[in-house]
Amino acid sequence: MIGIIAELKAKPGQGDALLAVMSEAAALVTAHEPGCLFYEVCRSRTDADVIKLFEIYADQAALDAHRTMPHFALIGGKLAPLIAAPPQVETLDAISGSITPPGEGEPVQRTY
C-alpha cells in the first residue's frame, strides 16, 4: 500500500476556505474511489492556514486513478486561487496498522 502526506499552505487568512474545499474533496474521494483506503483532512494547530492530508491507496494503480478523477480536477480548480504555493507531497510505503490490504483478512471495523 502507498501512504501520502500532503501539505497545503493557504494564502494568509484563507485557511477556512481551504479547509472547506478539502472537506469537499474528502467526501468525493471516499465516495468514489474504492482504491483509496483512507483519506483524512487535518489542520495545523500552530498555523490555521496549513492543512495536512493523510491518504492511503491500495496500490500505484489506485493512486494513478485518484489523480485522473474528474473531482481531482474540480478540486484543483478551487484550490488554485487559495493556496500560497504548490502542495508538498511525500510518498511512503504503508506497512501495517489499521488498514487491512485488499484481499487480506476482514475489512477494517471500528468498535464504536
Residue numbers of the site for a second copy (CB under 8 A)? Answer: 3, 5, 19, 22-23, 26-27, 29-30, 34, 37-45, 52, 54, 56, 58, 91-100, 102-103, 107-112
Tell me which amino acid residue 39 is.
Y
Residues with Cβ within 8 Å of 10's Cβ and at least 6 positions away in sequence, in order, are: 17, 18, 49, 50, 51, 82, 83, 84
Specify whether the CB–CB gap between 91 and 67 falls below 8 A: no
> Is the CB of 83 or the CB of 99 nearer to a second copy?
99
If the CB atoms of residues 27 and 84 are measured against a second copy, the closer one turns out to be 27
Pick 11 or 52: Cβ nearer a second copy: 52
